[in-house]
């Protein structure tokens, strides 16, 4: 199945754009975190709509690694299987689209605009993830996900024993490159002198760990996908290496969180408590949009917590799900 087909369909057929007027929970984002949350909302019989724009961060990758029992698996297959798993919950629906606005009125409900439609929900789970800043280099789109990667923890093991080239900018780049020494035989940083680059103190530390710093502007990737031979610099020099990792920054997709007034940390990620609840009552967040390791197993875990916490917060409230009278809130049984 092509990437476009994966984005547009689940195993049961095309995702509809029709929206019910009101649901217990609206999940924004259909990646591992959002689909995990929706799974648990389904298991608690909560009426749920997942709105997915189809921008899953890991879709370019050949394989997803480190997922218990599914290592490795293609991101496309994981998405197909996860969507198919939701089909056992008839009160959970997937909808393709983008939530452009989200606010809460005095009626206590959250109101979202999805394309030309609208939907209201008693609770919201934000699983909107982050957007990577990609290298502007010839051949990138052909190599991305094959021998060019953004996540050392995800792909470092596959680069074990190799010569690895690191592209990027910012003060965090030397630390990012040093992490790759857990796997790579040789690590080389291409330091762009036209931007804020590696400092003298950082160069000294890198040299002590035998990490090379090559000054120059990366221009193109050399070699076929899967057979990378290096990175060509402006001026013609070739920096040899079989795998490239890059870190130019990634930006939390937090527009909706800002519309709702959720508190963000200094990096723009949504601040949550141990139950993935944001600073706005009734709004939960999970996955890469929150602080922590940006890995699929972690996203699934935080999605699980958000889904269960969201579902149980609906207890004692009217619901359109097949169980018309959810269990009463736990605090009803608390002692004086």
Per-residue pLDDT of the chain (336 residues; tens, 9 = 90+): 344 444 444 333 346 668 999 999 999 999 999 999 999 999 999 999 999 999 999 999 999 999 999 999 999 999 999 999 999 999 999 999 999 999 999 888 999 999 999 999 999 999 999 999 999 999 999 999 999 999 999 999 999 999 999 999 988 999 999 999 999 999 999 999 888 789 999 999 999 999 999 999 999 999 999 999 999 999 999 999 999 999 998 999 999 999 999 999 999 999 999 999 999 999 999 999 999 999 999 999 999 999 999 999 999 887 766 666 788 887 777 765
Rg (CA), the chain: 22
% residues pLDDT > 70 (the chain)? 93
Integer CA distances (angstroms), 170 to 167, 205, 214, 247, 311, in order: 11, 16, 16, 8, 41
Closest residue by Cα to residue 172 from 152, 186, 157 = 152
Angstrom distance (rounded) from CA 237 to CA 223: 15
Angstrom distance (rounded) from CA 58 to CA 206: 29
Angstrom distance (rounded) from CA 17 to CA 336: 48
**What are the helix (H) ranges across 114-243?**
140-143, 152-155, 173-179, 200-208
Q: Please classify residue 21 by burial: count the beta carbons closer than 10 Å to its beta carbon, then call 0-12 exposed, 13-18 middle and 19+ buried.
A: exposed
**Look-up of token digits 């990646």:** 31
Instruction: Report the side by side order of strands in the sheet with 238-240.
Output: 218-224, 227-233, 238-240
**pTM for the whole thing?**
0.93
3-class DSSP assignment, residue 90: coil
């Amino acid at each position: 199945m092509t990437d476009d087909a994966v984005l547009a369909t689940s195993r049961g057929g095309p995702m509809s754009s029709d929206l019910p007027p009101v649901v217990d929970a609206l999940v924004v984002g259909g990646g591992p975190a959002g689909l995990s949350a929706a799974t648990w909302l389904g298991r608690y019989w909560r009426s749920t709509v997942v709105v997915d724009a189809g921008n899953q961060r890991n879709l370019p990758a050949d394989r997803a690694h480190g997922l218990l029992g599914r290592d490795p698996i293609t991101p496309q297959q994981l998405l197909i299987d996860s969507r198919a798993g939701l089909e056992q919950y008839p009160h959970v629906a997937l909808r393709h689209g983008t939530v452009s606005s989200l606010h809460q009125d005095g009626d206590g409900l959250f109101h979202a605009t999805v394309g030309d439609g609208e939907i209201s929900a008693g609770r919201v789970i934000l699983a909107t993830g982050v957007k990577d800043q990609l290298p502007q280099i010839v051949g990138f789109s052909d190599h991305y996900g094959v021998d060019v990667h953004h996540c050392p923890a995800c792909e470092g093991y596959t680069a074990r024993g190799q010569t690895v080239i690191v592209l990027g900018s910012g003060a965090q780049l030397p630390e990012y490159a040093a992490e790759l020494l857990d796997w790579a035989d040789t690590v080389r940083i291409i330091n762009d002198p036209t931007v804020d680059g590696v400092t003298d103190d950082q160069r000294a530390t890198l040299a002590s760990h035998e990490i090379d710093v090559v000054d120059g502007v990366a221009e193109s990737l050399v070699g076929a996908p899967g057979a990378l031979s290096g990175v060509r610099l402006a001026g013609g020099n070739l920096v040899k290496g079989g795998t490239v990792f890059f870190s130019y920054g990634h930006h939390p997709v937090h527009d909706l969180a800002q519309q709702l007034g959720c508190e963000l940390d200094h990096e723009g990620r949504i601040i949550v408590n141990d139950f993935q609840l944001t600073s706005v009552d009734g709004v939960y967040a999970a996955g890469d949009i929150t602080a922590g390791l940006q890995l699929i197993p972690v996203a699934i875990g935080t999605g699980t917590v958000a889904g269960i916490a969201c579902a149980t917060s609906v207890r004692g409230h009217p619901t359109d799900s097949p169980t018309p009278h959810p269990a009463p809130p736990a605090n009803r049984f608390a002692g004086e």
